[in-house]
């Protein structure tokens, strides 16, 4: 059965976990997103096989309201697509101008990146 949960196990929590992704990432980009991924460091018995971290800089998205909106949209998109993704840890970063887009445009860009990641990791 496919689980659509987004719980504590689905998140990168400690600076160390973020650091492992930042140390040797594979980079995926779109016009407004940069997603860094690395193979997951989780044990096989864990419930969720991939984890999400968010790095939404105040420099890129000035208003807290907009930063929180980005985080909500990314989390929701990840939650719905996580069962298709390979076993990876990822950090999502945004580029300037993303706060001008509406939710459907942001979701389209995320969908495109998820598809790209799934295609490249089919092996």
Q: Which residues sit opposite 38 in a β-bridge?
A: 89
- The predicted model scores a pTM of 0.90
CA R_g for the chain: 14
How many C-beta atoms lie closer than 10 Å to residue 12's C-beta?
Answer: 20
Secondary structure string (H, E, C) spanning the chain: CCCCCCCHHHECCCHHHHHHHHHCCEEEECCCEEEEEEECCCCCCCCCCCEEEEECCCCCCCCHHHHHHHHHHHHHHHHHHCCCCCCEEEEEEECCCHHHCCHHHHHHHHHHHHHHHHHHCCC
Q: Given the structure tokens 């690395």, which residue do they identify?
A: 38
Q: Which pLDDT score is estimated for 80?
A: 93
Q: Which pLDDT score is estimated for 46?
A: 55
Give CA–CA dist 48/15, Å, rounded.
20
Domain ranges across the chain: 10-121
Two structure tokens written together for 38: 């690395």
Q: Which CATH number fits domain 10-121: 3.30.70.980, 3.40.50.10860, 3.30.230.10, 3.50.50.60?
A: 3.30.230.10
Query: pLDDT tens, 54-96?
Result: 999 999 999 999 999 999 999 999 999 998 988 899 999 999 9
């Amino acid at each position: 059965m496919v689980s659509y949960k987004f719980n504590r196990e689905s998140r990168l929590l400690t600076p160390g976990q973020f650091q492992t992704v930042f140390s040797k990432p594979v980079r995926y980009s779109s016009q407004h997103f940069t997603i860094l991924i690395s193979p997951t460091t989780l044990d096989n018995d864990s419930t969720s096989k991939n984890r999400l971290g968010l790095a939404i800089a105040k420099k890129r998205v000035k208003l807290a309201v907009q930063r929180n909106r980005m985080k909500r949209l990314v989390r929701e998109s990840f939650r719905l697509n996580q069962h298709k993704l390979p076993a990876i840890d990822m950090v999502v970063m945004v580029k300037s101008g993303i706060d001008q887009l509406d939710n459907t445009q942001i979701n389209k860009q995320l969908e495109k990146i998820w598809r790209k990641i799934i295609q490249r990791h089919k092996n």
